[in-house]
Structure 1
Amino acid sequence: MSRTLREPAQKNMGSFKELLDGEPTSAVGTAYTAADEQYTALVSGVSGKVTDPKATLDRIFATLPRLSGVKPTRPGPMGGEARCGKGETQGVNVEVCAWADHHSIGMVTFLGFPKSGSADSLFVRARSQLEHPVT
């Protein structure tokens, strides 16, 4: 876990809370560095009532104007809407994937991800580690 990058992930988490219809039932905002230190992942998410997942994603990506090629991607087994886009900040490649469904909102930001790579499959894995159905 990267304590240095945890602050931006927690800031995203706070912004997501404002997109819920009511209070969050859980929240996460943290950062991890891959074991081989090739990239870092910032993870932010909240659970609660989401009235319009598509409009929620529209609002999230509207706050990220420096991303390009934002396109739908597989949301994974929990469903909902998901999109990914690419960018660069301070010479570092960035890939952002976000999801929204009727019960959660989240985003995984990959820093230092190879330009030729695609974080889509890593996004689905990360989301499945964060989010579990209520039993």
Structure 2
Amino acid sequence: MSQPSGNPYPHQPQQPYGEQPVPQQPGGYPPPAGQPYDAPLPPKKSKAGKIVLIALAVVLVLCLGGAAITWFTVKDEVGDVVDAANTRVVAPATLAGRKQVTDPELTKLSDQMVTEMKSTVQNETGTVGAFYGDVAKQDLVMVVAASGVLADPKKELDDAVAGLKTDLAVQEMTTTEPGPLGGEARCGDGKTEGMPLGVCVWADRGSVGLIVVFFKSAKEAKAEFVTMRGQIEQRS
């Protein structure tokens, strides 16, 4: 008579004494080397910290060029003065289809941008600092703008562009269509720590502002610039 084999389940291989079966991950594959069994995969590292550093650099440069917002001289057109005085910048709930960011870190930074501008820009009638989109999806836009009656919009634009070339490595900013609100606008490609930036800045008699589209090119930023500016700058 044959002796029992000791394996009550003859169709399953018997593990050698002292060895335990290797736990399997979903799909039947063993876990990666060095990965604890049944442990969740580590989350992807957030880019929020890097973006915060970039935004702080922009604020330090911009403060919208230390814009001096002053009344025109008597020879200026009355219509220009009225339009400028009736211009305001706002932070809409959505910008070109992107919702305003509610991340506490970026919300705090937005408040800091507004505070900085209020303390630096002279005679402003409104200020905006806000983020829109989703960092995780690499679709993020930053807005910094101020309204008031500008005596020399071109100078404010030139000052802002000069600062952006230094801090955001924007090599060249070319003239772009400003849209129905008029004034002047320029866009260029920036970069920091390998991250591409589409950077656009505008200035008119009633406002000066900056839009940075993270992870995108200047060409992509230009395609949305007029729409975004029209939602930020309002004229009554």
TM-score (normalizing by structure 1): 0.83
CA deviation vs aligned residue, 1:55-81 (integer Å, no higher than 9, x gap): 111100110121023100011111100
Deviation at 1:12, TM superposition (A): 6.2
SS of the equivalent of 1:118 reads helix
Deviation at 1:37, TM superposition (A): 2.4
Deviation at 1:35, TM superposition (A): 9.1
Distance (whole Å) between structure 2 residues aligned to residue 110 and residue 8 of structure 1: 15
CA contact (8 A) 2:146 2:207 kept: yes
Deviation at 1:13, TM superposition (A): 9.8
Where in structure 2 are the equivalents of 1:70-81 lying within 5 Å? 70-81=173-184
Distance (whole Å) between structure 2 residues aligned to residue 78 and residue 70 of structure 1: 20
Amino acid corresponding to residue 81 of structure 1 in structure 2: E
**1:91 equivalent in alignment to 2:139:** no
Cα distance, 1:129–1:8 mapped onto 2, change above 3 Å: farther
Which one of 119, 122, 127 corresponds to residue 224 of structure 2? Answer: 122
Deviation at 1:34, TM superposition (A): 4.8
Amino acid corresponding to residue 33 of structure 1 in structure 2: G
Distance (whole Å) between structure 1 residues aligned to residue 155 and residue 148 of structure 2: 16
SS of the equivalent of 1:67 reads coil
Which one of 124, 132, 135 corresponds to residue 234 of structure 2? Answer: 132
Deviation at 1:106, TM superposition (A): 0.5
CA contact (8 A) 2:61 2:160 kept: no
**1:101 equivalent in alignment to 2:208:** no
Correspondence for 2:158: 58
CA deviation vs aligned residue, 1:52-111 (integer Å, no higher than 9, x gap): 111111100110121023100011111100000102111110111000000000010011
CA contact (8 A) 1:13 1:44 kept: no
Distance (whole Å) between structure 1 residues aligned to residue 229 and residue 149 of structure 2: 18
**1:15 equivalent in alignment to 2:63:** yes
Identify the structure with the greater helix proportion: 2
Look at both structures and tell me which one has the larger radius of gyration over its CA atoms. Answer: 2
Cα distance, 1:88–1:54 mapped onto 2, change above 3 Å: same
Which one of 114, 139, 142 corresponds to residue 42 of structure 1? Answer: 142
Number of residue pairs the alignment of both structures matches = 131
Identity of aligned residues (%): 33
Moved more, 32-41 or 104-113: 32-41
Aligned-pair Cα RMSD in Å: 2.8
Amino acid corresponding to residue 16 of structure 1 in structure 2: L
TM-score (normalizing by structure 2): 0.49
Identify the structure with the greater strand proportion: 1
